[in-house]
Amino acid sequence: MRGGTRARRRRHAAARAPDVDIGALTCLIGYMLRRAQIAVFQDVFRAFAEVGIRPAQFSVLSVLAHNPGRTQSQVAAALGIKRTNFVALIDSLERRGLAERRPAPRDRRSHALYLTDAGKTTVRRLNRMVDKLEAGMIRRIGRDRRAVLLELLSRLAEGESSVTKQSPARHAPRKRGS
């Protein structure tokens, strides 16, 4: 809650400082991407704090809910998370009793990941929070522009590799890794 109040105070402070021109930054996609991400994640952190979950932990829980039994490397790769960070993430979820590692059936050296029953309940609760947060974002940008925003973000997220695949005529968001 404290973070949220501070965040609001900062936003108001910015509104009270019209004598500083940051126009050279606000016309940069990179800068505005970071400002938007920080603003959105302040709300996400505040909501998830109720459950004691961080956004990266949520992304793992969500993937395990839809893809039970995948290996650590598969899930880490799909989420673009470095192996060492990913192992720490799974450790934290296992300690909380939300996820568990089992020996992978085809490769005993690797671990297959599953949600526990508590994990499934937590994901459902987090999904309800996420639905509310997303609805708030959609209200801010306008309902009809959600698909465009997702497509543009997807193109940026794909990085250099998307340059060759890019087709300006396409308006539907691309599916990634599905």
Region 22-41 residues binding a copy of itself, contact defined as CB under 8 A: 22-41
Contact pattern from residue 55 through residue 84 relative to a copy of itself, giving x for each residue in contact according to CB under 8 A and a dash for the rest: x---x--xx-xxx--x---xx-xxxx-x--
> With contact defined as beta carbons under 8 Å apart, do 100 and 94 qualify?
yes
- The only residue of 5, 8, 97, 124 in contact with a copy of itself, by rule CB under 8 A: 8
Q: Please state the closest distance from residue 131 (CB atom) to a copy of itself, in A.
A: 10
Nearest residue to 64 via CA among 111, 20, 108: 111
Contact pattern from residue 114 through residue 153 relative to a copy of itself, giving x for each residue in contact according to CB under 8 A and a dash for the rest: ----------------x--xx-xxxxxxx-xxx-xxx-xx
Q: Please state the closest distance from residue 37 (CB atom) to a copy of itself, in A.
A: 4
Please write down the long-range contacts of 7-15, taking CB distance under 8 Å and 24 or more positions apart: 7/39, 7/42, 11/39
Residue 91 or 165 having the CB closest to a copy of itself = 165
Report d(CA 156, CA 1) in Å as an integer.
32
Residue 95 or 128 having the CB closest to a copy of itself = 128
Residue 31 or 97 having the CB closest to a copy of itself = 31
Q: What is the size of the binding site for a copy of itself (CB under 8 A)? A: 88
Burial class (CB in 10 A: 0-12, 13-18, 19+), 108: exposed
Contact pattern from residue 79 through residue 108 relative to a copy of itself, giving x for each residue in contact according to CB under 8 A and a dash for the rest: xx-x--------------------------
